[in-house]
Amino acid sequence: MARELARRADVVIENFRPGGLTRYGLDYGSVSARNAGVVYASISGFGSGAGAHVPGYDLMVQAISGLMSLTGDPDGPPYRSGISVFDVMAGNHAVIGILAALRHREATGEGQHVDVNLLSSALTGLVNHSSAYVAGGTVPYRMGNAHPSVFPYEPLPTADRDLIVTAANDRQFRRLCEALGIPEVTEDPRFAHNSDRTANRGELRPILVERLAKRGADEWFEVLVEAGVPCAPINTIDGGFAMAERFELDPVVEAGHGDRAVPTTRHPIRFSATPVRYELPPPEHDEHGGELRTWLTTPQEDDRD
């Protein structure tokens, strides 16, 4: 049944260890021999070459890629990300590749193999850290929540909890100081430009912290955003959903109807012409198995040779 499904499919996605599907006749070579137009996507940990034998888990890739060396306090141990960031990133890369391959097939009629691995996704996902090493030979290091070349660009304590403050240019810094009631700080040559503020962050930070201690994070958020200063309170997950509600993003939707309706997070992409629909809840075990088996055993007029 799996081979027949692959023979009729527009897209096949698999994340077995490279070569693991060959004995079932479900590898790309076997599937494409029966379905020349198929877009076949493989997601592995470390590719199909010398790393094919290594199991692929997100935490392993966080370690191997160098991400963990960048996460945590400068004098503390490396930390993993709070989510399986490279599993998600590789999945997104696979979708991008599949869509590009479908566009190619639309233009040429040709299918192809889309090959994605977690480590390659991780190295591109490290963005400026990757380019700092590849282009400049610089090995980045842990800085906690600090930014290597911008200040303030980190959490700062307020009267109740930390607030992210990202006054990333001179204009934003002037607005920050005005909102904090210390406009004279912008005239200090130690803090005149970003390079000065970064070099003298040890002197500037206590000045900002002293002023921020007069109000809580939520109150400062209102004041600073109104002044044109990028900032954000550090929320728990429920606070993140509450903020999305406040911004009219409607983050929670129901999938399905009636007794089968299940609350879920809204899809992040909005389409003007083809809005996302949430008609079905997550399926129960073999819920649509009968329909699928009937479809697979019914000849199709446009069935592929």
Catalytic residues: 87
8 A C-beta contact, residue 277 and residue 302: no
Radius of gyration of the chain (CA): 26
Alpha helix positions (H), 42-84: 58-65
**What does each C-alpha distance from 57 to 18, 94, 114, 213 come to in angstroms?**
14, 16, 20, 43
> Are 38 and 32 contacting, i.e. CB atoms less than 8 angstroms apart?
yes
DSSP 238-293: HHHHHHHHHTT---EEEESSGGG-EEEEPPS---SSS-----SPPPPTTTTHHHHH
Amino acid at 232: A
